[in-house]
Amino acid sequence: MTTRPPDREGARTTLQKLLSRFHFGITLFAVALSGITILLAGITTLRSYADHNIELAARLGAYGAEPALVFNDPQAAREGLEPLMRLPGIARLRLLDDRGHPLYQWTSPRGDPAPLLTRLFFPHPFAATVQRNGSVIGRIEVWGDSSTLIDYVRIGALAGLGCLLITALGTIILARRFEYELVKPLGEIATVAHDVRLHRRFDKRVQSLGIVELDRLGGDINALLDELQGWQGTMESENALLAHRASHDMLTAMPNRAAFDEQLRQRIQTAQAKERRFALLFIDADNFKAANDNHGHAAGDAVLVALSERIKDTLRKGDFAARIGGDEFIVIIDPLDGAIDPRELADRIRAGASQPVALPGGQHYRLGISVGAAVYPDDGADARTLLTAADAAMYADKLVKRPT
Amino acid sequence: MAVQAASQTIVENSAEGITSGVNRILGGIISYARWPAAASPAPRDMCLVGAPRLTGRIAPIVPGGQAVTVRRTTAAGAISGGCDIIFLGHMPVADRQRLIGWVRGRPVLTITDDDPNCSFGAMFCLNGGPSKISFSVNLDAIGRGPLRIDPRVLKIGSDDGGAR
């Protein structure tokens, strides 16, 4: 189970970064699109304004230069055209008389900032005829330059840069907000999943997150956890059942031979450590085979259950009883103090067992048992010796009864 | 007295060139003058009094082809009426004074070519040079009469007469 921080891997990225990149891309696209659109629309509009401006300038020039043409006077032409020379965006002026000879020419002392743009936008001069009382007396030609356009483009580029800055800022803020709104709930889900996996906290649940998709995910995780919790419970109870079955006898629900061996080992250890005594009673039903044969297996089972119940009834707290074979039972009487005589206990059990047992068929059966006792450490210090001693004592008891 | 040395028309340096230059200037001045509505309608009558100094053939060329009739007359003849324009050539001082005095307050355009300083009271004064003809404007004379002159003509030369 290797746990590695998720953001150490180069190829992966956080959701916030992803969102941030996404936002920036979209916003940049939108800003660029609108910016270019506005810029193009602006240039088109400005160009038409510039055309208009030059046309108006030509008209104004035609009006102002009219007397100069009438009197054929270059000086007057200069004076008449002077207002035009102060206008921005006019590169060159030319006044022609009725024969097409230039009367006056002027070129702006301000250099053209972008000759290429000028050629592109103002390839031809704007010309206006000068008329006097209906007859053409001359012509004025006006060339525009791109200075106003350049200004506009410069301002547009600056504004675009500003927009880009605002975009970047907005994207960061938006991504932060997204992190709060989206990444935090996801983190909560991850925390729950992590807790469940690491600490087996199947009772943990994802809280409502306020986002439909995430709530659906959380609901699914919760349902999964419900199932896991159910499985866990079932498994635990089944494990307990299996463990019980492994150590207990099915018929009488008493501990079986394996459980007894373990119990005896522990009791010996304890008694050894604390220097205590305990007794072992070996109980065997007399003629059980005959009862089985005569009355059937169901009756035999009923007799065994009855016997086990009676044995249990005689037990004190701390004592232990087990069924170690077909009709063989063992009782550990622990601790064994001076007040208790194993023989007396054996007699008590014998007396309890001798009460008639009601068989399934309605008959009654009187069971006889043989009991042998062994005492630790008097009769043996280990399990085998103790068992052998108890077994021998039980046999002796059985032999005593045989003749009768 | 506000007198302005005004326009300088470039002409070919020949008798023919000067004549056409003079007539062109005359036509230009006439075309920029506005007679009151009550005055007699076009064509305008030009009365030539005295001897013109610049050219003997006075026939104004008005842009747009507006016709101007020219007739020679005396000072007395001009005063007796029928003149929209009086061209004052070389003449006795008394005659000139009479004419200028009579014109005052009347819708009559006065032009002379015999007054280089433009100080005798004519509205426009022509001046001949080696290869150019100029005209001056006497704003006081124009201001006294009901005739209206296009300000563009009055403005010509008003800025830098000293440069001439």
Q: Which two tokens stand for residue B50?
A: 């005295």
At residue A379, the pLDDT reads: 85
| Shortest CA gap A88–chain B (Å) | 23
At residue A319, the pLDDT reads: 87
pLDDT higher than threshold 70 for residue B141: yes
Is A79 near chain B, with CB under 8 Å?
yes
pLDDT higher than threshold 70 for residue A73: yes
At residue B86, the pLDDT reads: 93
> Which residues in chain A have Cβ-Cβ distances shorter than 8 Å to B156?
67-68, 71, 73, 76, 79
pLDDT higher than threshold 60 for residue A377: yes
Q: Which residues of A are catalytic?
A: 327
- Inter-chain CB proximity A132 and B153 less than 8 Å: no
Question: Residue A10 — pLDDT band, cuts 50, 70, 90?
Answer: low
Kindly give, in sequence order, each residue whose CB lies less than 8 Å from that of residue B164, ignoring residues fewer than 6 positions away. Answer: B5, B8, B134, B157
Question: Residue A234 — pLDDT band, cuts 50, 70, 90?
Answer: very high
Is A101 near chain B, with CB under 8 Å?
no
* Residue of B9 and A280 predicted with greater confidence: A280
At residue A7, the pLDDT reads: 44
Enclosing H/E stretch for B132: strand B132-138
> Which residues in chain B have Cβ-Cβ distances shorter than 8 Å to A71?
7, 9, 24-25, 28, 135, 156
At residue A106, the pLDDT reads: 92
**3-class secondary structure, B46:** strand
Query: How many CB atoms are located within 10 Å of the residue A384 CB?
Result: 9
Determine the average pLDDT of the residues in B124-148: 86
- Inter-chain CB proximity A73 and B24 less than 8 Å: no
- Inter-chain CB proximity A134 and B24 less than 8 Å: no
DSSP string, A213-256: HHHHHHHHHHHHHHHHHHHHHHHHHHHHHHHHHHHB-TTT--B-
Q: What is the mean pLDDT of chain A?
A: 84
- Inter-chain CB proximity A71 and B31 less than 8 Å: no
CA–CA distance, A23 with B75 (Å, rounded to integer): 95
**CA B7 and chain centroid, separation:** 13
> Which residues in chain B have Cβ-Cβ distances shorter than 8 Å to A64?
152
Instruction: Put residue A275 in one of left, alpha, beta given phi > 0 → left and psi -120 to 50 → alpha.
Output: left
Report which of A156, A137, A139, A128 is spatially closest to residue A104, judged by C-alpha positions: A139
Q: Which two tokens stand for residue A350?
A: 């014998």
pLDDT tens digit sequence for A166-221? 888 888 888 788 778 877 888 888 888 888 888 888 888 888 878 888 888 888 88
* ipTM attached to this prediction: 0.78
Kindly give, in sequence order, each residue whose CB lies less than 8 Å from that of residue A387, ignoring residues fewer than 6 positions away. Answer: A264, A280, A282, A374
* Residue of A114 and A394 predicted with greater confidence: A394
Determine the average pLDDT of the residues in A150-179: 83
At residue A1, the pLDDT reads: 43
Question: Residue B38 — pLDDT band, cuts 50, 70, 90?
Answer: low
pLDDT higher than threshold 50 for residue A5: no
**3-class secondary structure, A397:** helix
pLDDT higher than threshold 60 for residue A228: yes
The residue of chain B nearest to residue A79, with distances taken between CA atoms, is B156
Question: Residue A238 — pLDDT band, cuts 50, 70, 90?
Answer: very high
Question: Residue B2 — pLDDT band, cuts 50, 70, 90?
Answer: low
Strand B85-88 to B44-49 pairing? parallel
Enclosing H/E stretch for A58: helix A15-71
pLDDT tens digit sequence for A261-276? 999 999 899 888 988 8
Q: Which two tokens stand for residue A86?
A: 């102060």
At residue A6, the pLDDT reads: 47
Report which of A123, A121, A118, A125 is spatially closest to residue A96, judged by C-alpha positions: A125
The residue of chain A nearest to residue B30, with distances taken between CA atoms, is A70
Q: Which of A65-79, B5-19, B140-154 has the lowest mean pLDDT?
A: B5-19
Determine the average pLDDT of the residues in B80-89: 89
Kindly give, in sequence order, each residue whose CB lies less than 8 Å from that of residue B53, ignoring residues fewer than 6 positions away. Answer: B89, B90, B113, B114, B128
Q: What are phi and psi of A233, to 5 degrees?
A: -60, -50
Q: Which two tokens stand for residue A377?
A: 């450490």
At residue A4, the pLDDT reads: 47
Tokens 């207990």 found at: A248
Given a contact cutoff of 8 angstroms between Cβ atoms, the answer to whether B89 and B96 are in contact is no
CA–CA distance, B8 with B117 (Å, rounded to integer): 15
Given a contact cutoff of 8 angstroms between Cβ atoms, the answer to whether A329 and A317 are in contact is no
pLDDT higher than threshold 60 for residue A160: yes
pLDDT higher than threshold 90 for residue B109: yes
User: Which one-letter amino acid corresponds to residue A163?
Assistant: C
> Which residues in chain A have Cβ-Cβ distances shorter than 8 Å to B9?
71-73
Report which of B69, B32, B77 is spatially closest to residue B50, judged by C-alpha positions: B77
At residue B87, the pLDDT reads: 93
pLDDT tens digit sequence for A294-318? 888 888 888 888 888 888 888 888 8
Enclosing H/E stretch for A117: helix A115-121
Q: Which two tokens stand for residue B5?
A: 């040395």
* Residue of A120 and A143 predicted with greater confidence: A143
- Inter-chain CB proximity B7 and A80 less than 8 Å: no
- Inter-chain CB proximity B7 and A137 less than 8 Å: no
In angstroms, the Cα distances linking A244 to A156, A241, A320 are 86, 5, 16
In angstroms, the Cα distances linking A192 to A189, B22, B140 are 5, 109, 105
Question: Residue A95 — pLDDT band, cuts 50, 70, 90?
Answer: very high
First to last CA, chain B: 19
Question: Residue A11 — pLDDT band, cuts 50, 70, 90?
Answer: low
At residue B3, the pLDDT reads: 54
Query: How many CB atoms are located within 10 Å of the residue A211 CB?
Result: 14
* Residue of B163 and A295 predicted with greater confidence: A295
Q: For chain A, what is the total number of helices (H) and then of strands (E)?
A: 11, 10
At residue B108, the pLDDT reads: 92
CA–CA distance, B54 with B18 (Å, rounded to integer): 7
